[in-house]
Amino acid sequence: MKIAMVSEQVNPRAIAGGTDGGGRGRCVTGLARALARAGHDVVVHTRREDPQAPHRTPLCDGLTVEQVPAGPPRPIPRDTLLRHAGAFGGSLAESWSQERPDVVHAHAWMSGLAAMVGARGLDLPVVQTFHALGTVERRHQGRADTSPPERSRLEAAIGRSVRCVIATCHDEAEELVHMGVPRRRISVVPVGVDVDHLAEEGPTLARSSSKRLVTIGRLVRHRGIETIIEALPRLPDVELLVAGGSTGEDLGEDPDVRRLRRCAFDRGVSDRVQLLGWVPHSDVPRLLRSADVFVTMPWYEPSGTTALEAMACGRPVVAAAVGGLLDTVLDGASGLLVPPRRPDLLVSALRMLLGDTLRREEMGMFAGVHARARYSWPRIAAETLQCYTSVLTEQPRAMASMSPPR
């Protein structure tokens, strides 16, 4: 099968070179590689950010990255990309008219908009994965959400127009139904993890005699790291390692780092909170394997990638009972689920696990088995291919006009 993936800002070529594209970047790259290894021909179309980059770069057998001209050939803020969606879509149409794919799979909403523009007139089936929804982000972030005001309206239009929407969790699927997307066009396929890179056995980051909690992710407020820090005063002899944010040399200038340091100081736990900054993905397994418990307490979470990575490393997870974490963390088996923004309930869950070595080890073993059995990229690729096959066997239907705002 010839598969065209559209990912306006996540470039597998850069990730292969050592740049961490975050959870979505690892998802797009992992899925594309797994599909290629399964014998399919995959082209990932991403916006050109480097004028010197080659138009096409093969990453492995069956996988090529194509740099699409759309806007200035340099990195620009994500929330300004909408104005270039039309040019991106026009370039895609030109590429696809010369080398026609069987199916188009767009990742994130602006990629979906460009894919719809590019596929219009070519009768190409489009599959959409949003990775996060504007309605949910606006609900939880309020004024802190910097997305363009058109986002929610355009996401709903994309969802109603494409042949299939792949939701990354059941919570997202229900949100899509409320947005007007027909339930019959929604499939739930979770994100995967690289279970070869993220293994239970291997080098481990040095640690002290204290029990260790680890969390990974962006340091913005809705990731809920303050909730973990607020729990520490009631967890003596427990340290917290936080990976994410700026690199080491810029750490002191990061406003989110300053906010979290102030939170730790106010609660008298500064000596037990280490803000590591950005950790290369190659070093993440060492960090995860050093944890007694992995903790993630976001206000919302569409996928739960970091929790899955910790599970693959054989670590139990205490997570907020939201979004994709409701699917990935099996409460009482691979970890414990608690409501978000409730440090008191987080304390109870952590006391239970940190005080019971046998249960902690049993949960970690189950977490590793579950991650490998359910979330390996070959399995996720096979489920995604089922979605592609289903849309290819459907009768084509008229595609709505998706011209982006000027």
The domain segmentation of the chain, as residue ranges, is 2-192+378-392, 211-375
Do the first three CATH levels of 2-192+378-392 and 211-375 match, i.e. the same topology?
yes
pLDDT at 80: 83
CB atoms within 10 A of CB 69: 16
What topology is assigned to 2-192+378-392 in CATH?
A: Rossmann fold (3.40.50)
pLDDT at 11: 62
pLDDT at 401: 42
Round to whole Å and give the CA distance between 205 and 191.
26
- What's the pLDDT tens digit per position in 27-56? 999 999 999 999 999 999 999 998 988 999
Question: 250-285 burial string, b = 16+ CB within 10 Å, else e?
Answer: ebeebebbeebbebbeebebeebbebbbebebeebb
Task: From residue 109, give the alpha-carbon distance in Å to each of 115, 117, 162, 222, 238.
Answer: 10, 13, 12, 20, 40
CATH superfamily of 211-375: Glycogen Phosphorylase B; (3.40.50.2000)
The β-bridge partners of 239 are 212
**Does 120 have pLDDT greater than 50?**
yes
Residue position matching structure tokens 């037990």 = 272
> Which residue, among 369, 402, 365, 353, has the nearest Cα to 110 in the 3D structure?
402
Q: Taking all residues of the chain, what is their mean pLDDT, rounded to a whole number?
A: 92
Q: Please tell me which residue, 404 or 149, carries the higher pLDDT value.
A: 149
Task: From residue 219, give the alpha-carbon distance in Å to each of 156, 225, 301.
Answer: 29, 7, 14
DSSP reduced 3-state for 246: coil
Query: 248 falls in which pLDDT band (50, 70, 90)?
Result: low
Q: Please tell me which residue, 254 or 94, carries the higher pLDDT value.
A: 94
Q: How many helical (H) and strand (E) elements, i.e. helices and strands, does the chain have?
A: 15, 14
Residue position matching structure tokens 């427990």 = 238
